[in-house]
Amino acid sequence: MSQTVQAAVRAGVAQLKDAGIDGAARDAQVLMAHVLGVRTDRLILIGPDPLTEKQAATFDDMIQRRASREPVSHLVGGRMFYDRWFKVTPDVLDPRPETETLIATALARPFQRVLDLGTGSGCILLTLLAERPGTTGIGTDISVQAVSVANENRERLGLTDRATIGQASWYTQVSGRFDLIVSNPPYIAIAEMADLQPEVRDHEPRLALTDEGDGLACYRAIVADAPDFLTPQGYLMVEIGPTQAAAVSQMLVGRGFANITVTQDIDGRDRVVSAQNTGK
């Protein structure tokens, strides 16, 4: 007798719980919905329906891979971010809910032209442009593979005429000035890498996670040249690790920025540092 959708999900949840996966029920439902090509809220309605042998085998394989700590986004090929679907591969960071704090902070300011440094999947740049019609922007990333993923997301979201994404290390290959510069750079210190969750440490690109040093090297590079690429009174906004607000704020003070603010994420942790250019 064929296994039903409901029975397979229950078995999957049990397997994930045994493997110590947080959010086992959510993950099993997302994986089943992906296998069946339906929304997760449809699963309860089709719970009694039988699975085909192929569907059951595919779901079992995904559960096993998730139990071995492969991220759900890699298994289903993407993730929702700010109510939009972004392609995700092992070549880019998994868009995180806390990064939506950077989006909300940026959208509170006026801007017409945006520069996103270390764009990864493109989720920050593309979300800002999609939320603010008429704006344009550039995203850069040192990884050729990340640029490819970001360009796929750009095309899927219909932003090819407003966003340019290319390979570069920070500001190299960039010209002109921007009303807003944003970045979620590698900020994990090398000493902290061993403590990361296996999903992050073993499956996300190391280049996007750590500077192989104190976790602040990328901020030094971004802050140092930011005034040369910002319009007068333009803003620089960066995502930070929860303990880095003071250090990054001090860098900005030293470079002559004003109106420096720290914004907390939904969990109450310092998450975004913003500063206004005072140059001409």
What would the pLDDT profile of 232-244 be if each residue is shown by its tens digit?
Answer: 999 999 999 999 9
Confidence grade of residue 199 (pLDDT, cut at 50, 70, 90): confident
Question: For the chain, which domains are there?
Answer: 5-68 (1.10.8.10), 78-276 (3.40.50.150)
- Spatial neighbors of 204 by CB under 8 A, at least 6 apart, are 71, 90, 93, 94
pLDDT of residue 1 exceeding 60: no
What would the pLDDT profile of 64-88 be if each residue is shown by its tens digit?
Answer: 999 999 999 999 999 999 999 999 9
Cα(30)–Cα(185) distance, rounded to whole angstroms? 29
**DSSP characters over 224-264:** HHGGGTEEEEEEEEEE--TT-HHHHHHHHHHTT-EEEEEEE
Residue 165: Cβ within 10 Å count: 26
The average pLDDT across 126-144 equals 97
Q: Which residues pair with 138 in a beta bridge?
A: 115, 164
What per-residue confidence (pLDDT) applies to 280?
A: 62
pTM score? 0.91
The average pLDDT across 44-60 equals 93
What would the pLDDT profile of 239-276 be if each residue is shown by its tens digit?
Answer: 999 999 999 999 999 999 999 999 999 999 999 999 99
